[in-house]
Every structure is written in structure tokens, then in C-alpha cells.
Chains A and B, each alone.
Chain A
Amino acid sequence: MPVALHGDLDLTDPEAQTRSRALNQFLAGVELKAFKIAQAALRHEDDALDAVQDAMLQLARAYAGRPPQEWKPLFYRILENRIRDMQRRRTVRGRVMAWLPVRGEDEGEEPDPIAQAPSPDPQPARRLELEQAMTALERSLGGLPRRQRQAFLLRTLEGMDVAETALAMGCSQGSVKTHYFRALQALRAELGDFHS
């Protein structure tokens, strides 16, 4: 299969249509996890959405013609670069902002009555427990150094192997193992042997 150098897909070409469908499927498969990863790093929903959107655009524009098996590490590498750019810009605006708690998308707006309604969940206690564990994990993840958090999320949430993670992080496989190991140690020290 000939591979285009750039992401310029000519949709009148049946092969390009197939590629576009494959790209759609790929992006649909990663977008939610990518959003969570961006959110853990940026701690702001709109910024996380912007970062994922930019990464999608850049992958589609510049790398759609690359073999599909390269898309995942490329996409996460682009996403990480975008996250870093946003963090730098934010640092310039003021370091204090980075330490504020997670801001919800409805901040400053009227509370959503549907969201406020009692949950139909038959196990509210279990749900509460789960939510507390999730909150604790997300908070701990937010406190990890950037590279450790990245290695942990790409491996644990996205399920990437070490080679893919190394490509996505732009470092050696040895570095990935080190970052991952340190992330695990830090999380265990903070959370203990928590249960999901």
C-alpha cells in the first residue's frame, strides 16, 4: 500500500476513504483516554479538550498517511508536546494557577438539576467508595512528576507496551521503565494497597 508523506487525504480516492475511516476509528478509540491523560496533567477540562483537539488535528494533517500502527505513539507524543506547551504558557501566566484544585466545566454556572438529582444506583455506598478512590488516585497522579505520570498513564490506562510508550515519550525503553517504576513507588507510598 503506498503511503502518503503527509496527511493530505484525497477523499475522492477509495484508498484515502478507507484510511480516513481507519483514522476515525483510531481517534474514536483514543479520545476519551487521551482526554483523561490531558486532564490529569492540566487539571482543567477545557484546556484538556483543547490539547486533545490540537493533537487530533495535527495527527490528521501531518501523519494520516503514516502506517496506522504508528498512529498511537505519534498521537500521544503530539498530545504530550501540546500539554507541555500549555503548561509552559500557564507557568508564564502564574505558577499559582497550577496548584488550584480541578476546575469543573460548570464553574460559576448554575448547578445542573439533572446532575443534582439522586442517583438511581442501587449501591450508593459502593459508588461513593469508588469515587473516593478515583479522586485519591487522580490527586496522586496530579502530584507526580510529568514523565512519571505520563509513563504510568500510557502503560496502565492506554495499555501501551514499553516500546510504544518509549516512542510516545521520545525516550529510551530503559527510561520508560525507570519512570514507571518510580511512579508506582510514589503512588503506592501515597495510596497504599488501595482497592478498586
Chain B
Amino acid sequence: MNPVNEPLTDFERNARVLLEESVSRIDGRTRSRLNQARHAALEAAAAPRRAWRWRSYTLMPAAGVAAALLVTLVLFNREPSVESPVLEGQHAVEDMDLLADSEGLELMDGWDGPFYEWASTENEGNVASDG
């Protein structure tokens, strides 16, 4: 070789002439596509900031709409519960009251099973007599 930077041999020179001839014969369609690719690359070099601005202004409303759709889908696809949402809400408020109520907590601490069983049967008895 002339692996380093010595003058080319005849073989290398001939090969270079052939390869250059081959390059010069590249057709117009390919040249045009390469030209387009080059311009696209140059635009891409300047594009990141513009692209970010575009994304930030365009995708935010789209993301909002997508989130709203998702929430709507989740709400509509929930399995219907046995109790109505209103009752559920009431129970939640009652639970909050129980937690906030210091007496309630004291009752829970000193768990008295027989008392609650008695209270429960009393309540059922009242309901039966009302009905």
C-alpha cells in the first residue's frame, strides 16, 4: 500500500478514476434526493428550539383534552356500587365525624363487643316494630 501517505500505485489510481467516474454517473433522481436530505438536515440543525416551542404550545391543550377524556372514561366505566353515591358520601362524612370525634375514638379503644351487639339488635327490633 501506500497505506500512509505515499503516492498512489497505478492500481490505486485506476481504482480511484473508476470510482470517481461511478460517482459522476449518479443519476439526477438520486442527486435530487440527496440534495433534499441535505436541506432537511440543515433545517433540523436549527429546528430543536422551534420544535420545542411548537410542542409546548400545541401539545398542552391536546394533553388537557386527553386528560379530560381519560377522567370521563374512568368515571363512566366504574362498576355501579350497591349504594347510591349520595349514601356513600354520607357515610364518608359520618366516618370523618367518627374520626374527628374524640369520644368515638375512646369507644373504639375500649372495644365492647357485647354492647355493640346489643345496640344492633335493639336497632333491628325498632325497625321491625316500625315496619
Residues of A within 8 A of B (CB): 7-11, 16, 20, 23-24, 27-28, 31-33, 35-36, 45, 49, 52-53, 56-57, 59-61, 64, 105, 130, 133-134, 137-138, 152-153, 156-157, 161-162, 176-177, 180-181, 184, 187-188, 193-196
Contacts and interface: CB of A to CB of B under 8 A. Distances in A.
Given A181-B1, A184-B12, A193-B11, A31 B34 contact: yes
A153 B18 CA distance: 12
Contact of A53 (B3, B15, B41): B41
B92 to A, nearest CB: 53
Contact of A36 (B13, B26, B27, B35): B26
A171 to B, nearest CB: 13
The 9 residue pairs across chains A and B that have the minimum distance between CB atoms: A177-B3, A196-B17, A56-B41, A53-B37, A60-B45, A60-B41, A196-B14, A157-B19, A31-B34
A9 B46 contact: yes
Contacts, number: 122
B11 A188 contact: yes
Interface residues of B, number: 37
A162 B21 CA distance: 24
A27 B11 contact: no
Contacts of B45: 7-9, 20, 23, 60-61, 64
A47 B45 CA distance: 23
A180 B26 contact: no
26 contacts: A7-B45, A8-B45, A10-B49, A20-B45, A23-B45, A24-B42, A27-B38, A27-B41, A31-B37, A35-B34, A49-B37, A52-B34, A53-B41, A60-B45, A130-B18, A134-B18, A134-B22, A137-B19, A156-B8, A161-B5, A176-B3, A177-B1, A177-B3, A180-B1, A184-B11, A196-B13
**SS class of chain B's interface: helix, strand, loop or mixed?**
helix
A56 B15 contact: no
